[in-house]
Structure 1
């Protein structure tokens, strides 16, 4: 063993010992409130990654889409075709606000989506519920963020994870989250004239 190799092995052994000591203190489990926000791409994509993990572990889960309309997406098609027995999928929106141009209708749809979300979250059989693009509904005040927070704090079962995605998450929501991630935009192909593409965006 060379001197560099030995030094590296000793350094990694110290890191492992320190890491093991930290990990030994992490023993609690709880259902998390998880927020994915920011201008960068990947908020829903990361959330669906967790949904597919739940499916792989045979953990019942559910998705409620607050804004996205009836357009076919890979994740919805896959779940409805192959995993509808373990993952409920509800597309409750009618498209983005600049497409519908009807605030009253958007508010009605957001309210209906929230009622469905509460029903799914209240069911302790569901280990994870994804509220896709709810942050947009909250941003435009289609829903009251105080009501959403109160429900998550008071009625969410102890072992249920709830994931809330979308840009511009309210500060109050981030404050009560157990895990909050902001996706930072560095580059996006849209700025170079490239449209949304199958397999990447949907």
Structure 2
């Protein structure tokens, strides 16, 4: 004797699967995506590095350019440089957050150098994914011209290369260009309760 609740559940799931399979059958294209992670919530870079580690797991060459971070070590950078430098080209071009450096001309110089390196890495079709970590911050402060970034990604990015751009306050021009945009929403953060950034969570 079968359970009516189980029968109803199975029938519902079968119907849902059929509908899902029908939708999935129409999704046949592949392309290199422009992906933006923005918002005030935590997790923008963490999520982007998750994708970098997926590329590494699939033996797909990739690269990282960090535009702001650089004043301190991070777990992702240490792990990649120590174990996966053959697959992931890692460049920390920043020297810390702008309120730490307090040198605008130096910040602009470093951001421009990071953007030059980013263009080089993106233009190389060997790289399947390039992460531009915290580039939105550099764009927000006009250290890097958003129009130049949009034009380069639109006109010069190889067709199968994914580019991920992280940082708060993503410009509308980037959001419009992007294929995938995620905004991290801040609900609660321990920093507001006096808890400092901790290894394994923030870095």
Secondary structure at 2:21 match in 1? helix
TM-score, normalization by structure 1? 0.99
CA distance in 1, matches of 2:74, 2:97: 15
Q: What is the DSSP-based 3-state SS (H/G/I as helix, E as strand, rest coil) of the residue aligned with 2:41?
A: coil
Q: Does 1:29 align with 2:2?
A: no
Alignment match, 2:77: 76
Trace 1:105-144 onto structure 2 (pairs within 5 A): 105-144=106-145
Equivalent residue number for residue 13 of structure 1: 14
Q: In the alignment, which residue of structure 2 is the partner of 1:200?
A: 201
- How many residue pairs get matched? 202
Contact 1:70 1:91 (8 Å CA) reproduced:
no
Q: How does 1:1-202 map to 2 (within 5 A)?
A: 1-202=2-203
SS in 2 for 1:114: helix
Q: Take 2:48 and 2:162, find their aligned partners in 1: how far apart are those partners?
A: 11
Find the aligned partners of 1:125 and 1:63 in 2 and give their Cα distance. Answer: 14
Deviating above 3 A after TM superposition, structure 1's stretches of 4 or more consecutive aligned residues are: none
- SS at the partner of 1:59? coil
Unaligned runs of 5+ in 1: none
- How far has the Cα of 1:70 moved from its partner? 3.7
Q: Distance in 2 between matches of 1:95 and 1:77?
A: 17
Deviations 1:46-94 (A, max 9, x none): 0000000000000000000000014111100000000000101000001
RMSD (Å) for aligned C-alpha atoms: 0.5
